[in-house]
Amino acid sequence: MVDSRVTQLAELVSSHSMRLTKADNLLIQAIDIRDELVAEFVRVAQSHGANVVVRYESNLIKRQMLLGMTEENAKLHGRTEKYEMEQMTACLMIRGASNLNEHGDVPSDKMALWQTHYAQPVTFQTRIPNTKWVVLRWPNPSMAQQAGMSTPAFEDFFFRVCLVDYAKMGAAAKPLEELMARTDQVRIVGPGTDLNFSIKGIGAVRSEGRRNIPDGECYTCPVKDSMNGTVQYNTATLNQGAVFNDIRFVVKNGKIVEATAGDKTQKLNDILDTDEGARYFGEWSLGFNPHILHPMLDTLFDEKIAGSFHLTPGNAYDGPGGNGNKSAIHWDIVNIQRPDYGGGEIWFDGRLIRKDGIFVVPELEGLNPNRLV
């Protein structure tokens, strides 16, 4: 029997996030997810009239595909799945993983082939701009271990953070979206961080459960060549099967000119050298989900941490929040500015708007954890 919370989440995704109707062709991409869970998402989507197609995948099988990947093979994947995505009006990606390091031994040049010939045409050029898409991670013992919880406790946490009141969150985030759209100069300060950049004319987007689940952020991005200074991230981050700690970027005129990450410095720079756009930034965002307080090596959760920001090397989304930067990379790396993580400040046009993770201007106080829970 399927947990009633699964049905509730499937209904949220179908009705609130993707707003499915009989006019929609929906692709459900399920990676390492149990059959009965996928079947429930299919059933609920069908109840809204959607025409459903399912693509079932495995991280273990993908590892072998990547190990033997050639440029022509990567292009074939890209062409095939781009065509499939072009037939869709909506896309739901439900991602599970029993081993977060499953692709950790895939060489960087193989990953670069995949990012260039699959991620760019399928994800950035087709899915993101042309479909109603949602990315959803699924709880399992591996994720519970990442979060330092028992499996039942993590499942309770998962549904609590995913099934928040997104209407309330969206209303509270609207003043931040409007303020970011009016702002020119941003300054971020904190331990190891002193960074200045412009967001003038970029626009902003408040995220309220329409794309990622869980949600809770408001994003924009820097004017491409405006950023100068240093940023020191204070959370671990997972990319291409490897865990990176203590990432530090020195930025000059928008470009990362120096990048270090302890014993992963070489791999970090290999990723940043994927293409020209990977050393520029495609997103800057403030996180405020009140139930997510600590990192767990899962971007969909970590980037929503209350009192955090993420600053993203690589591809920028088109439309509001975009700066024209194109890359096969889009890497959301998180810094938490609450006192238990060292504190920090966010300034807009010389005005302090958030200190130690708490919004300090009246119009934004509704986004503080004590108001959103």
Number of domains in the chain: 2
Which residue, of 145, 162, 179, is where some domain finishes? 162
Cβ proximity of 186 and 200 under 8 Å: no
* Per-residue confidence (pLDDT) for residue 321, from 0 to 100: 65
Clarify whether residues 157 and 293 are in a common domain.
Answer: no
Clarify whether residues 189 and 133 are in a common domain.
Answer: no
Clarify whether residues 183 and 147 are in a common domain.
Answer: no
* Per-residue confidence (pLDDT) for residue 320, from 0 to 100: 72
Strands (E) located in the chain: 25-31, 51-57, 90-95, 132-137, 185-190, 193-198, 205-207, 212-213, 217-220, 228-232, 237-239, 242-244, 248-252, 255-260, 281-287, 308-313, 333-336, 345-348, 351-355, 358-359
Instruction: State the Cα–Cα distance between residues 359 and 172, nearest whole angstrom.
Output: 12
* Per-residue confidence (pLDDT) for residue 97, from 0 to 100: 78
User: Which two three-digit tokens encode residue 197?
Assistant: 């950049």
Clarify whether residues 149 and 226 are in a common domain.
Answer: no
Name, in order, each residue with C-beta under 8 angstroms of 109's C-beta and a sequence gap of 6 or more: none
Q: Give the bridge partners for 188, in sequence order.
A: 195, 346
Which residue, of 162, 184, 200, is where some domain finishes? 162
Clarify whether residues 248 and 135 are in a common domain.
Answer: no
Clarify whether residues 157 and 170 are in a common domain.
Answer: no
Q: Which residues of the chain have pLDDT under 50?
A: none
Clarify whether residues 243 and 295 are in a common domain.
Answer: yes
Clarify whether residues 218 and 340 are in a common domain.
Answer: yes
Clarify whether residues 237 and 96 are in a common domain.
Answer: no
We report the CATH number of the domain holding residue 150 as 3.40.1830.10
Which residue, of 162, 197, 231, is where some domain finishes? 162
Clarify whether residues 158 and 171 are in a common domain.
Answer: no
* Widest distance between CA atoms in the chain: 56
Residue 258, judged by CB atoms within 10 A of its CB (0-12, 13-18, 19+), counts as: exposed
Clarify whether residues 173 and 240 are in a common domain.
Answer: yes
Instruction: State the Cα–Cα distance between residues 149 and 154, nearest whole angstrom.
Output: 6
* Distance from the Cα of residue 110 to its chain's centroid: 23
Clarify whether residues 337 and 263 are in a common domain.
Answer: yes
